[in-house]
Structure 1
Amino acid sequence: MREFYERNGGPILEKAKAIKLFKKKELKEILKSKNLVGGKGFGEVYKGFLDNKQVAVKRLKSGGAQENNEQFANEIIIQSQVIHKNIVKLIGCCLEVDTPILVYEYLPKGSLEDILHGSKKVSPLNINVRLSIAAQLADGLAYMHSKTNNKIIHGNVKPANILLDDNFMPKISNLGVLRLFARDKQADNAIDDWSYVDPAVYMQTRLLTEKSDVYSFGVVILELISRKKAACYDNNSLARNFLEAYKEKRVDELFDNEIAQTSNLELLHSLAKIVVECLNLDADQRPSMIDVAERLLKLNRSRNP
């Protein structure tokens, strides 16, 4: 266990005050199949209790984090210093195993994917709740891009990586995990849905930038206003269909019927305009997340004073 501990950056993380280092035996009961709640992309997720608090325990896929213990440790330190109400908090990690285990706060409502399309689908989901979710997500991403000591690119913004509490407050999850895989060229394997991936930058260069996150966020807003999955298949996608409809001035037909009342159309068109800007194939012409967050905050205040 000591070998794993040192290889995974334990000596470096011992000096970090904001991160708790858990023993393998402390997580043993949680890491049982009966507690498994998710298992896509970056690894398996379990839920359980530590220190009388409900937590989510993520066991990373084998091979994604051990190539450079200093870089892994620094990534964990960066995550532990991120404190924002719309970003899932990293509580600690366990390094006494082959592949590190991460411990996060637990969000009971599930993911935005679940709420929009899955087993926890909420219907109706009114437009004010959807707008609030979008505005808060934008604020979280703007914080990551511009208000931390180290600029943080998420790289995999999508509804499945957006968790909600009981009041529908969204929190961005899987923060920084993609970079742990990108180090040893496993990023492509970790991305399990290419519908949210920036075709102008990442698909061509395999480089992630803040404008990659802007593109992905645009797809997320599009799902919020259409309640259609972004699935990419047979050279077809929600984003492409939307851009064509917007250009042909028939975008109203893509709005979710639950929220497409006349009284909401002005707001929906404002959101659609933001989506178009975020999906611009010229990455340099996309707005920054700070700009998007400010605009969404104004819209949100007008509807949810």
Structure 2
Amino acid sequence: MFKKINIFIIIILLITLTGCNLNKTTLVGSLNMNEELVNSARIIQDTGESNILVDSTYYSIDKAVIGTTSGKKISSKDLQPGSLINLKTTGVIMTSFPGQGEATRVILYDDKRSQEISEAVRYILEHQPNGKIISPSLQKITDDKLIIHFFEWTINGKKYEATLNLKNKDLKVIEIKNEFAEKLKEQQEKALKDKKDFMYTGYITKVLPNGLRINRVDFTFDKSITFKNQKGETLKLENFQVGDFVTAYHSHTSTETFPFKGTLYQLEQLMNNTPSTDWIKSLTESGQFIEPVIMDFWQEKDGTKTVKIIDIKKTKKFLYIVNYNHKTGKQTVKEIPNK
């Protein structure tokens, strides 16, 4: 009698343990599939006659091998918006928006779990309230929740997070931080601040509505312009005046007009409030010249500074060599041929 009871108890225990193991195995399999999809699956956002839109690129599938993860042969007609695929490409993408590339292999996830998530993705794409979007991607999958990210249909546009309750289809979409766009903006701003592709040293001779004339270039201020002195200390625009000797960090200058044109990213003050400052200022205010533009300059030699200027307001544009001795305050002006 006791032996029968013991055998019965053992059988019950075995069934219970086996059932627990089966449930655990099923759960692990489900978790693994969720993780596999998030890590490897890509979303088809749209389809055409011979291409699919994935991420932010239209991929041609004319020459691609198309199949499923279970080994079935399918055609391009079986690929639908929301489908989850494993995608192989040539790696070459044309820099348009959206991009254009060529797929070599398209494998559709066709297991039950993947099909469920695919339907959920399709539901989000059809019901999200933000108009035309691009680049949907899987972010998190649980038993009752799906999270995807996508962007507005523009380069470096707003980024959104969509959360769908898989049980009751409750959909929530919020705007989130676009890390890539912000990082790109920071890099661009840093590049502008540090831009030293072109350096131009000379005297400020005129204040313009949104810039300065430095020797023979009319510079327009870039919106991210910075001002500093030789020590690297930050200055303000009002710290600069006509006559200051400066270095301009700028874009390539246009020579189609005179004075030339350029965009100024950074201005470094080398000298100000010196006798030379007053002298350059006097050239523009004394009345001897209507609107002088400094063509070239030479450093001081034996107490004398020399510049070559042209008066752009005179009908016949003459060149002048102007010498100034800052010790005596004497100045000489010599007209030379304008070749």
Higher relative contact order (CA 8 A, sep 6+): 1
TM-score band, normalised by the shorter chain? under 0.3
Larger Rg: 1 or 2? 2
TM-score under structure 1 normalisation? 0.23
TM-score under structure 2 normalisation? 0.21
